[in-house]
Amino acid sequence: MSLSLTELESHCQTIIDLSQRKHGLIVLCEGNIHEIKGRIEQYRRLEILPDANFYKACVPSWWIGKRPTFIPCGDRKDVIDTFFKLRKLHFNQEKLFAIVDLDLQPYSLTDYVVADTEALFSTCYSNGKLQKTTLQQHKLFITGLIYKEAYFLVPDLQSLFDGYPTPVMFREQPLNLQALYRRMASALATDNNLNANFQRACARICYIENLNTTDISLLQESWLQAFDGAGSIEQDQLIQALLCIHQVKNYWQALEPKDSAIPLPRFQEQLALAIGSFYAQQPPDSNHHLPGFFAAMSAQNNNNL
Protein backbone atom coordinates (compact mmCIF):
# COMPACT_ATOMS: atom_id res chain seq x y z
CA MET A 1 0.00 0.00 0.00
CA SER A 2 1.45 3.33 -1.09
CA LEU A 3 1.99 6.29 1.18
CA SER A 4 -0.87 8.75 1.58
CA LEU A 5 -0.17 12.44 0.88
CA THR A 6 0.10 13.12 4.61
CA GLU A 7 2.44 10.15 5.11
CA LEU A 8 4.56 11.25 2.14
CA GLU A 9 4.95 14.77 3.51
CA SER A 10 5.91 13.45 6.95
CA HIS A 11 8.34 10.97 5.40
CA CYS A 12 10.01 13.71 3.36
CA GLN A 13 10.38 15.99 6.36
CA THR A 14 12.04 13.20 8.32
CA ILE A 15 14.46 12.57 5.45
CA ILE A 16 15.33 16.27 5.43
CA ASP A 17 16.02 16.09 9.17
CA LEU A 18 18.14 12.96 8.70
CA SER A 19 20.10 14.55 5.90
CA GLN A 20 20.98 17.51 8.09
CA ARG A 21 22.48 15.11 10.61
CA LYS A 22 24.18 12.75 8.13
CA HIS A 23 25.81 15.40 5.87
CA GLY A 24 26.29 12.92 3.02
CA LEU A 25 24.51 11.47 0.00
CA ILE A 26 20.94 10.29 0.51
CA VAL A 27 19.86 7.35 -1.64
CA LEU A 28 16.18 6.45 -1.68
CA CYS A 29 15.27 2.83 -2.36
CA GLU A 30 12.36 0.44 -2.09
CA GLY A 31 11.47 -1.34 1.14
CA ASN A 32 8.53 -1.65 3.53
CA ILE A 33 8.46 1.20 6.03
CA HIS A 34 4.89 0.87 7.30
CA GLU A 35 6.01 -0.95 10.43
CA ILE A 36 7.60 2.23 11.77
CA LYS A 37 4.33 4.15 11.15
CA GLY A 38 5.99 7.53 10.82
CA ARG A 39 7.68 7.43 14.22
CA ILE A 40 10.74 9.62 13.83
CA GLU A 41 12.67 7.80 16.55
CA GLN A 42 12.36 4.61 14.51
CA TYR A 43 13.90 6.03 11.33
CA ARG A 44 17.36 5.06 12.53
CA ARG A 45 16.25 1.47 11.82
CA LEU A 46 15.61 2.15 8.13
CA GLU A 47 19.11 1.23 6.98
CA ILE A 48 18.79 -2.27 8.42
CA LEU A 49 15.60 -3.01 6.48
CA PRO A 50 16.18 -5.45 3.60
CA ASP A 51 16.58 -3.27 0.49
CA ALA A 52 18.59 -0.55 2.21
CA ASN A 53 20.70 -3.13 4.02
CA PHE A 54 21.59 -4.82 0.73
CA TYR A 55 22.48 -1.61 -1.10
CA LYS A 56 24.52 -0.49 1.89
CA ALA A 57 26.51 -3.73 1.62
CA CYS A 58 27.16 -2.93 -2.08
CA VAL A 59 29.00 0.32 -1.36
CA PRO A 60 32.32 -0.24 -3.19
CA SER A 61 35.53 -0.91 -1.35
CA TRP A 62 37.03 1.91 -3.42
CA TRP A 63 34.44 4.45 -2.22
CA ILE A 64 36.14 7.58 -0.83
CA GLY A 65 34.60 9.79 1.82
CA LYS A 66 31.38 9.54 3.77
CA ARG A 67 29.29 6.54 2.76
CA PRO A 68 25.79 7.17 1.40
CA THR A 69 22.74 6.79 3.62
CA PHE A 70 20.09 4.47 2.17
CA ILE A 71 16.47 5.16 3.02
CA PRO A 72 13.66 2.77 2.07
CA CYS A 73 10.49 4.60 1.11
CA GLY A 74 7.91 1.87 0.40
CA ASP A 75 7.12 0.55 -3.07
CA ARG A 76 8.49 1.84 -6.38
CA LYS A 77 5.78 4.52 -6.61
CA ASP A 78 6.64 5.72 -3.11
CA VAL A 79 10.34 6.01 -3.95
CA ILE A 80 9.61 8.06 -7.07
CA ASP A 81 7.03 10.22 -5.30
CA THR A 82 9.45 10.84 -2.42
CA PHE A 83 12.26 11.71 -4.84
CA PHE A 84 10.22 14.33 -6.68
CA LYS A 85 8.57 15.67 -3.54
CA LEU A 86 11.99 16.30 -1.98
CA ARG A 87 13.09 18.11 -5.13
CA LYS A 88 10.03 20.37 -4.87
CA LEU A 89 10.92 21.05 -1.25
CA HIS A 90 14.34 22.28 -2.48
CA PHE A 91 16.26 19.40 -0.96
CA ASN A 92 19.91 19.66 -2.01
CA GLN A 93 19.66 17.94 -5.40
CA GLU A 94 23.39 17.31 -5.53
CA LYS A 95 23.01 15.00 -2.52
CA LEU A 96 19.79 13.20 -3.53
CA PHE A 97 19.68 9.93 -5.50
CA ALA A 98 17.18 7.10 -5.86
CA ILE A 99 17.22 3.50 -7.10
CA VAL A 100 14.05 1.77 -8.28
CA ASP A 101 13.24 -1.61 -9.78
CA LEU A 102 12.57 -1.83 -13.50
CA ASP A 103 9.51 -4.12 -13.26
CA LEU A 104 7.34 -4.61 -16.36
CA GLN A 105 4.86 -1.79 -15.76
CA PRO A 106 6.09 1.73 -16.60
CA TYR A 107 5.59 4.55 -14.10
CA SER A 108 5.28 8.16 -15.24
CA LEU A 109 7.98 10.66 -14.27
CA THR A 110 6.73 14.24 -13.99
CA ASP A 111 9.08 17.13 -14.80
CA TYR A 112 12.01 14.82 -15.48
CA VAL A 113 14.23 14.43 -18.53
CA VAL A 114 12.41 11.24 -19.62
CA ALA A 115 8.69 10.47 -19.58
CA ASP A 116 8.58 7.24 -17.58
CA THR A 117 10.60 4.40 -16.10
CA GLU A 118 10.66 2.43 -19.36
CA ALA A 119 12.14 5.42 -21.17
CA LEU A 120 14.68 5.77 -18.35
CA PHE A 121 15.64 2.12 -18.84
CA SER A 122 16.00 2.61 -22.61
CA THR A 123 18.22 5.64 -22.02
CA CYS A 124 20.51 3.98 -19.47
CA TYR A 125 20.92 0.53 -21.04
CA SER A 126 21.80 -0.74 -24.49
CA ASN A 127 21.75 -4.44 -25.32
CA GLY A 128 21.69 -5.20 -21.62
CA LYS A 129 24.75 -3.08 -20.88
CA LEU A 130 24.76 -0.04 -18.62
CA GLN A 131 25.57 3.18 -20.48
CA LYS A 132 27.76 4.76 -17.86
CA THR A 133 28.14 8.16 -19.53
CA THR A 134 24.37 8.50 -19.89
CA LEU A 135 23.82 7.29 -16.33
CA GLN A 136 25.83 10.21 -14.98
CA GLN A 137 23.12 12.54 -16.29
CA HIS A 138 20.60 11.07 -13.84
CA LYS A 139 19.91 11.15 -10.13
CA LEU A 140 17.17 8.55 -10.48
CA PHE A 141 18.66 5.13 -11.25
CA ILE A 142 16.73 2.13 -12.52
CA THR A 143 17.82 -1.48 -12.40
CA GLY A 144 18.65 -3.14 -15.71
CA LEU A 145 17.17 -6.41 -14.43
CA ILE A 146 13.52 -6.73 -13.55
CA TYR A 147 13.93 -6.56 -9.76
CA LYS A 148 16.73 -6.14 -7.25
CA GLU A 149 16.43 -9.87 -6.51
CA ALA A 150 17.58 -10.68 -10.04
CA TYR A 151 21.02 -9.39 -9.03
CA PHE A 152 21.09 -12.18 -6.44
CA LEU A 153 21.06 -14.79 -9.22
CA VAL A 154 23.57 -13.62 -11.85
CA PRO A 155 26.04 -16.23 -13.20
CA ASP A 156 29.13 -14.77 -11.52
CA LEU A 157 27.64 -15.63 -8.12
CA GLN A 158 27.88 -19.40 -8.63
CA SER A 159 31.30 -19.55 -6.97
CA LEU A 160 29.96 -17.58 -4.00
CA PHE A 161 27.11 -20.07 -3.59
CA ASP A 162 29.47 -23.02 -3.99
CA GLY A 163 31.79 -21.73 -1.27
CA TYR A 164 29.17 -20.35 1.12
CA PRO A 165 29.66 -21.70 4.68
CA THR A 166 26.09 -22.98 4.82
CA PRO A 167 25.28 -24.91 1.62
CA VAL A 168 22.68 -23.07 -0.47
CA MET A 169 19.84 -25.33 -1.58
CA PHE A 170 17.07 -25.01 -4.16
CA ARG A 171 14.31 -27.61 -4.01
CA GLU A 172 16.49 -29.81 -1.77
CA GLN A 173 19.41 -29.77 -4.21
CA PRO A 174 22.60 -27.66 -4.15
CA LEU A 175 21.93 -24.47 -6.09
CA ASN A 176 23.03 -24.75 -9.72
CA LEU A 177 22.37 -21.51 -11.55
CA GLN A 178 22.55 -23.06 -15.02
CA ALA A 179 19.79 -25.48 -14.07
CA LEU A 180 17.84 -22.65 -12.42
CA TYR A 181 17.93 -20.59 -15.63
CA ARG A 182 16.47 -23.50 -17.57
CA ARG A 183 13.75 -23.84 -14.94
CA MET A 184 13.02 -20.12 -15.20
CA ALA A 185 12.85 -20.22 -18.99
CA SER A 186 10.55 -23.23 -18.87
CA ALA A 187 8.11 -21.14 -16.82
CA LEU A 188 7.98 -18.11 -19.14
CA ALA A 189 4.65 -19.09 -20.70
CA THR A 190 3.00 -19.22 -17.27
CA ASP A 191 4.34 -15.85 -16.07
CA ASN A 192 1.18 -13.73 -15.83
CA ASN A 193 3.11 -10.48 -15.49
CA LEU A 194 5.07 -11.27 -18.64
CA ASN A 195 1.92 -12.28 -20.51
CA ALA A 196 0.28 -8.98 -19.63
CA ASN A 197 3.29 -6.94 -20.74
CA PHE A 198 4.67 -9.15 -23.48
CA GLN A 199 5.33 -6.53 -26.17
CA ARG A 200 7.17 -4.27 -23.74
CA ALA A 201 9.28 -7.18 -22.56
CA CYS A 202 10.13 -8.17 -26.13
CA ALA A 203 11.24 -4.63 -26.94
CA ARG A 204 13.84 -4.94 -24.17
CA ILE A 205 15.40 -8.10 -25.56
CA CYS A 206 14.96 -7.65 -29.31
CA TYR A 207 18.73 -7.37 -29.78
CA ILE A 208 19.08 -11.14 -29.29
CA GLU A 209 18.62 -12.61 -32.75
CA ASN A 210 17.87 -16.21 -31.81
CA LEU A 211 14.75 -15.40 -29.77
CA ASN A 212 11.34 -15.77 -31.39
CA THR A 213 9.09 -13.11 -29.92
CA THR A 214 6.02 -13.94 -32.02
CA ASP A 215 4.27 -15.21 -28.90
CA ILE A 216 5.23 -16.22 -25.40
CA SER A 217 5.32 -19.97 -26.05
CA LEU A 218 7.70 -19.48 -28.97
CA LEU A 219 9.84 -17.19 -26.84
CA GLN A 220 10.11 -19.91 -24.21
CA GLU A 221 10.95 -22.60 -26.77
CA SER A 222 13.49 -20.47 -28.65
CA TRP A 223 15.23 -19.38 -25.44
CA LEU A 224 15.75 -22.98 -24.34
CA GLN A 225 16.99 -24.03 -27.77
CA ALA A 226 19.36 -21.08 -28.04
CA PHE A 227 20.71 -21.57 -24.52
CA ASP A 228 21.59 -25.22 -25.01
CA GLY A 229 23.57 -24.48 -28.17
CA ALA A 230 25.18 -21.20 -27.12
CA GLY A 231 28.74 -20.34 -26.15
CA SER A 232 29.51 -18.51 -22.92
CA ILE A 233 29.05 -14.99 -24.32
CA GLU A 234 25.74 -15.86 -25.96
CA GLN A 235 24.57 -17.66 -22.81
CA ASP A 236 25.31 -14.58 -20.73
CA GLN A 237 23.18 -12.51 -23.11
CA LEU A 238 20.31 -14.97 -22.85
CA ILE A 239 20.52 -15.00 -19.05
CA GLN A 240 20.57 -11.19 -19.02
CA ALA A 241 17.43 -11.16 -21.16
CA LEU A 242 15.71 -13.72 -18.94
CA LEU A 243 16.46 -11.77 -15.76
CA CYS A 244 15.24 -8.61 -17.43
CA ILE A 245 11.69 -9.85 -18.10
CA HIS A 246 10.86 -12.81 -15.85
CA GLN A 247 9.54 -12.84 -12.29
CA VAL A 248 12.50 -13.86 -10.11
CA LYS A 249 11.46 -13.17 -6.52
CA ASN A 250 9.92 -16.61 -6.01
CA TYR A 251 13.18 -18.31 -7.02
CA TRP A 252 15.19 -16.24 -4.57
CA GLN A 253 12.66 -16.90 -1.80
CA ALA A 254 12.91 -20.64 -2.49
CA LEU A 255 16.63 -20.72 -1.63
CA GLU A 256 17.20 -22.29 1.76
CA PRO A 257 20.03 -23.53 3.96
CA LYS A 258 20.92 -27.18 4.11
CA ASP A 259 21.14 -26.79 7.88
CA SER A 260 17.53 -26.38 8.99
CA ALA A 261 18.71 -25.04 12.35
CA ILE A 262 19.29 -21.65 10.70
CA PRO A 263 16.05 -19.63 10.44
CA LEU A 264 15.22 -19.01 6.80
CA PRO A 265 14.84 -15.18 7.10
CA ARG A 266 18.22 -14.96 8.83
CA PHE A 267 19.83 -17.17 6.21
CA GLN A 268 18.47 -15.10 3.31
CA GLU A 269 19.47 -11.85 5.02
CA GLN A 270 23.05 -13.02 5.50
CA LEU A 271 23.25 -14.45 1.99
CA ALA A 272 22.02 -11.15 0.53
CA LEU A 273 24.71 -9.30 2.47
CA ALA A 274 27.36 -11.70 1.14
CA ILE A 275 26.10 -10.96 -2.37
CA GLY A 276 26.32 -7.24 -1.58
CA SER A 277 29.93 -7.77 -0.54
CA PHE A 278 30.59 -9.43 -3.91
CA TYR A 279 29.39 -6.30 -5.70
CA ALA A 280 31.34 -4.08 -3.30
CA GLN A 281 34.56 -5.76 -4.44
CA GLN A 282 33.97 -5.00 -8.13
CA PRO A 283 36.10 -2.25 -9.74
CA PRO A 284 34.57 1.05 -10.90
CA ASP A 285 34.67 -0.10 -14.55
CA SER A 286 32.87 -3.37 -13.80
CA ASN A 287 30.24 -4.55 -16.28
CA HIS A 288 27.89 -5.28 -13.40
CA HIS A 289 25.11 -2.72 -13.11
CA LEU A 290 25.24 -2.04 -9.38
CA PRO A 291 28.89 -0.91 -9.25
CA GLY A 292 28.01 1.35 -12.18
CA PHE A 293 25.44 3.17 -10.05
CA PHE A 294 28.05 3.87 -7.40
CA ALA A 295 30.61 4.98 -9.97
CA ALA A 296 28.10 7.50 -11.35
CA MET A 297 27.16 8.61 -7.84
CA SER A 298 30.80 9.05 -6.88
CA ALA A 299 31.60 11.01 -10.04
CA GLN A 300 28.69 13.39 -9.49
CA ASN A 301 29.53 13.79 -5.82
CA ASN A 302 33.20 14.51 -6.47
CA ASN A 303 32.29 17.03 -9.17
CA ASN A 304 30.24 18.97 -6.64
CA LEU A 305 32.71 19.03 -3.75
Residue 45 maps to a domain = yes
**Residue 60 belongs to a domain:** yes
Does residue 179 share a domain with residue 120?
Answer: no
Are 104 and 175 found together in one domain?
A: no
Top-confidence residue, 301 or 86: 86
Query: Domain residues for 216?
Result: 153-262
| Domain count of the fold of the chain | 2
Are 241 and 128 in contact, with CB atoms under 8 Å apart? yes
Task: Tell me the per-residue pLDDT of 5-15, one tens digit each, with 9 for 90 and over.
Answer: 998 998 899 89
Q: Are residues 81 and 228 in the same domain?
A: no
Q: How far apart are CA 301 and CA 65, in angstroms?
A: 10
Query: Taking residues 72-76, what's their average pLDDT?
Result: 92
Residue 269 lies in a domain: no
Q: Is the pTM of this model over 0.85?
A: yes
Does one domain contain both 220 and 258?
yes
Inside any domain, residue 268: no
Query: 127 and 237 share a domain?
Result: no
The verdict on residue 193 lying in a domain is yes
Same domain, 145 and 293: yes
Question: Domain for residue 208, yes or no?
Answer: yes
pLDDT at 161: 98
Checking DSSP bridges between strand 96-100 and strand 129-130, what pairing results, if any?
unpaired
* Domain shared by 52 and 132, yes or no: yes
> 137 and 160, same structural domain?
no
Chain centre distance of CA 205? 18
pLDDT over 80 at 303, yes or no: no
Length of the chain: 305
Same domain, 184 and 257: yes
- For the stretch 110-142, pLDDT in tens is 889 999 999 999 999 999 999 988 888 899 999
| pLDDT number for residue 65 | 86
pLDDT recorded at residue 260:
78
289 & 255 share domain? no
pLDDT one-digit tens code per residue, 229-283: 889 999 999 999 999 999 999 999 999 999 877 899 999 999 999 999 999 999 9
Within the chain, where are the H helices?
Answer: 5-22, 50-57, 76-88, 117-124, 132-135, 158-163, 177-186, 192-196, 198-204, 216-228, 232-245, 249-253, 264-280, 289-303
Pick the residue with more confidence: 302 or 14?
14
121 and 21 together in one domain: yes
Whether the per-residue pLDDT at 189 is higher than 90: the answer is yes
pLDDT digits (tens, 9 = 90+) for 220-229: 999 999 999 8
pLDDT of residue 1: 62
Residue 304 pLDDT greater than 60, yes or no: no
Residue 7, pLDDT score: 87
pLDDT for the residue numbered 45 = 60
Q: Is residue 294 part of a domain?
A: yes
* pLDDT the model gives residue 44: 59
Amino acid at 160: L
Q: Does residue 298 lie in a domain region?
A: yes
Residue 79: name the closest of 2, 181, 169, 172 by CA.
2
In three-state secondary structure terms, 169 is strand
Q: 290 to each of 60, 109, 135, 151, 275, how far by Cα in Å? A: 10, 22, 12, 8, 11
pLDDT digits (tens, 9 = 90+) for 19-72: 877 788 999 999 887 765 555 455 556 655 678 899 999 999 999 888 999 999
d(CA 13, CA 86): 9
Eight-class DSSP state of 234: H
Using DSSP bridges, classify how beta strands 255-257 and 168-170 pair: parallel, antiparallel or unpaired: antiparallel
pLDDT band at residue 179 under the 50/70/90 scheme: very high
Q: What is the pLDDT of residue 22?
A: 78
Co-location of 257 and 160 in the same domain: yes
